[in-house]
Structure formats: structure tokens, C-alpha cells
Amino acid sequence: MNFCIFSANYLPHIGGIERYTYYLSKELIKRGHNVTVVTENVVKGDPHEISDGIEIFRFPCYNLINGRYPITKKNKLSKEIDTEINGRKFDFVIINARFYLHSIYAAKFAHKHSIPMITIEHGSSHLSVNNRLFDYLGAKWEHFITERLKKYCKDYYGVSKAACDWSGHFGIKSKGVLYNSIDLTEIESLCENPVCDYRKDLGIPKSAKVIVFTGRLIKEKGIYQLAKGFISLNDSNAYLLIAGDGPEMQGLKDIGGEHIYLLGKLDFSHIIALLKDSDILCLPSVSEGMSTSVLEAAATKTFVITTKTGGSKELINSDELGIVTDGNTEDEVFKALKCAIQNDEYRDSATQKAYDRLKEYFVWEKTADKVEDICKKNKGDKE
């Protein structure tokens, strides 16, 4: 099968959709399929290349909202890429995320060539820039774009049940879940041979409890509640390591706080090493589809504290596997951290149970199985 996956953002730009696209592509290629990724050139990379067996086309673009919403530039290069893509023969089109102009282009492309297509929902709330007026206008824009997309694409899935439920907000009935997942073999290999020792490098005692956050530093992730909740612990034997970059970096620096380390943006191998050296991942987010950070934590047997927002509760589906809070207030974060820090046996038991559930449901082999089944069904219907 020849797959074409459209994703407005893609590696080396870091994010959940980017990693979803990459790892699903790798798994499909491992099974003998061909995969082409069409994206926007947010990172100013090569407009055409083959990386890890994946053929990549990058449209020149304007990087709106710091690259979070790229829009294709109409120029000679974009016309050349468009011509090249339209000259290819694809069996199936996958569109990642519903609200990009890039997704409209993808749906029109598939419709024009009578190629079966699906759109995968990655969120559980409207895109936010933490400005009431712009968030309101952004929500209106999402509804407008979605209505256009629905004219061409009829089949929708979600990276979690929560993402499927969110699609219902736009009058879309999802046909099922294609879980965001992880490459467990890769992560376990990195744990066996970590690229560094964060406890040693930062001078953190072996007896200390290390709390970690990994992700983009934006308000929706609850990073301020996390920092303030941690400070409220007033525990000299606890450390908070924050890995990531984003518009709220300076705000976190202004908060300060003893035993809080801002590590900046880390690559995948360093994220895994960091999780391996940590006891607790805390992600008090108010906007998630299916958090890769939570999946990676479960894979490294790091205890998870998160909110009921999005799909993380589908992995941490009881308090036997971790802590899922109703909201993300400073007090809720404080109480969850205190509970996790003080109960070593509970953490050990929960991390093993979360790992076992992850291995059963949230690995790329399972997601790729479902994608292949969808393709076969669509091919059969077409014939």
C-alpha cells in the first residue's frame, strides 16, 4: 500500500502530532508499505528528502502563532511540490488534525483523485493562545474550517476516546480510536543505555524524590500550577525538573524556586533518560488529546499525575495506576504531589500496572493493525 500522510507540522519540529506521524509511518514501513509525508516547512528544512525510509515534502509557509499554525506560501516552489504530489499514485490518505488549511488541501487532494481518506482528531478542546478575544475568534475559525473539511472527508477517528468525544462538538461522529502510542522497544533500549545521568549531573541525592514535566511551556499545560504546587510542598528532599521550551519560559524563570531546574528543550533520548531518573511525572494540563509525555512516563515506569482532560485517563483508568485529578488548581497539584511522594509502595505498584496496560493497548503495533484494517475495508468498499 502507498500511504500519504498529511501533517501541518512534522519533525524536526517537536510536538505530539509530529511524533504520531513519524512513528505510525515507521511502523507501516516496517510492514512493507510505502509512506509519503506532506507537511509545511516550519523548520526551514529540505523541501524534499527521504528520512528513515519516509519520503517527505515540505511546502514553504508562513509560521503563524510561532509555528503552531503554518500556512502555505503560494510561490514557484509550492507549485512544484503540488505538481509532484498530484503526479503520485496513493492508495490511502491520512489527515492529521482537523483545523489546518493544510488539512483542507489534503482532503481536496484525496477527493480529486478518489483516494480513500480519514482525518484523525488530536485534541480535546479549542486551540488556545491565552487571549480571550483571539481564542473566541480562533474557535469560530475552527468551526468554519471544519465545515469545509466535512464537505470532502466523511471518516473521522481520534487519538483517544476523549478526542473522539471532542469531534462531536463539531457534529462529527467518530468511527473509532487510533491511539497515540509509543515504541516500547526503542524506549526500553534507551533506558538500558541512557545518554546521561541527570541525578549525577545535577547533584541530586539518590534518596531525593524527582518530579518531572516534559512538554511545551504553555499555560494550557498547567506549568504555573505545577511550579507553585511544588514550592508549596516545602520539601528539601524533592526536586522539580522541567524539560521543554515555549512562551512561558521567562514566566517560570521569574517564579524561581529552590530545587526547580529549567532544562530547556531536550531531544527524545534525553527525555527518556530524564524520565528514567525521575520518580513522578506531573502533567496538570487542561488541553490534551492523548499525551505522549504520559505514555513515555508509563513506559519508563515513572508514576503519573495528570488531569481528567483528554485521553490520559484512558491509560491511567483507575487510582491503582496513578493519580488523575478533576482540575489543575495549585491546591490539587500540591495534594497529588504530596500523596505520591509519601507513598513509595503505591508508586511502585501503580507504575507496574500502568506499564502492563500500556503494553497491551498503547503501542504502535496495535494502532497500525487498526490502520491496515481500515484501509482494507475502504479498498473492499471501493471494489
Residue 66: per-residue pLDDT: 78
Say yes or no: 95 and 110 in one domain.
Answer: yes
Query: What cell was used for 66?
Result: 510561532
Q: Write down the pLDDT at residue 263.
A: 97
In eight-state DSSP terms, residue 168 is G
Is residue 118's pLDDT more than 70? yes
Average pLDDT of span 92-113? 97
380 pLDDT band, cuts 50/70/90, is low
221 pLDDT above the threshold of 60: yes
241 by DSSP, 3-state: which? strand
Would you state the cell numbers that stand for residue 133, as one nine-digit string? 478575544
Are 169 and 199 in a shared domain? no
For residues 266 and 171, membership in a common domain is answered with no
The residues facing 158 across adjacent strands are 121, 177
Tell me, yes or no, whether 164 and 213 share the same domain. Answer: no
Q: In whole angstroms, what separates CA 37 from the centre of its chain?
A: 17
Whether the pLDDT of residue 317 is over 80: the answer is yes
Q: What is the DSSP letter of 64?
A: E
- pTM metric for this prediction: 0.85
Are 232 and 158 found together in one domain? no
Domain shared by 357 and 368, yes or no: no
Q: What's the CATH number where 16 sits?
A: 3.40.50.2000
**pLDDT(288) > 90:** no
What is residue 381's predicted lDDT score, i.e. its pLDDT?
Answer: 62
Same-domain status, 78 and 93 = yes
In this predicted structure, the answer to whether residue 209 has a pLDDT above a threshold of 70 is yes
Residue 372 has pLDDT above 70, yes or no: yes
Residues 166 and 72 in one domain: yes
Which residue shows C-alpha cell 467518530? 174
Residues near 366 by beta carbon (within 8 Å), at least 6 away in sequence: 179, 181
Over the chain, what is the mean pLDDT? 94
* CB proximity list for 131: less than 8 A, separation 6 or greater: none
What's the whole-number mean pLDDT along residues 310-338?
A: 95
- Stretch 267-282: mean pLDDT, rounded? 97
Least confident residue range of 126-135, 230-239, 296-305, 327-336: 126-135
User: Does residue 379 carry a pLDDT above 80?
Assistant: no
* b/e 111-123 (16+ beta carbons within 10 angstroms → b): eeeebbbbbbbbb
Span 14-23, mean pLDDT?
A: 90
The Cα 219–Cα 242 span in angstroms is 14
Of the pLDDT bands very low, low, confident and very high (cuts 50, 70, 90), residue 56 is: very high
Q: Is the pLDDT of residue 383 over 80?
A: no
For residue 121, the 8-state DSSP code is E
- pLDDT attached to residue 16: 84
Q: What is the pLDDT of residue 382?
A: 57
- The H or E element containing residue 239 is strand 238-243
Q: Give the total number of structural domains in the chain.
A: 2
Dihedral angle sign, alpha carbons of residues 340, 346, 352, 354: negative
Nearest residue to 310 (alpha-carbon basis) of 211, 185, 182, 222:
222
- Provide the Cα torsion 324, 327, 329, 332; round to 10°: -40
Three cell numbers written together for 6: 498529511
Least Cα distance to 275 among 249, 293, 257 occurs for 293
Confidence at residue 287, expressed as pLDDT on a 0 to 100 scale: 78
143 and 192 share a domain?
no
Rg (alpha carbons) of the chain, rounded to whole number: 21
**Full residue range of the structural domain in which residue 158 is found:** 2-181+363-382
Arithmetic mean of pLDDT, 344-350 = 97
Judge if 8 and 30 occupy the same domain: yes
Q: Give the pLDDT of residue 65.
A: 84
Strand arrangement of the beta sheet that strand 323-325 belongs to? 260-264, 238-243, 209-214, 280-283, 303-307, 323-325
**Predicted local confidence at residue 159, as pLDDT:** 93
Distances (CA, A) of 22 to 204, 311, 382: 34, 20, 28
Q: Which residues are CB-neighbours of 32 under 8 A, at least 6 positions away?
A: none
* 234 and 174 inside one domain: no
Q: Does 17 lie in the same domain as 141?
A: yes
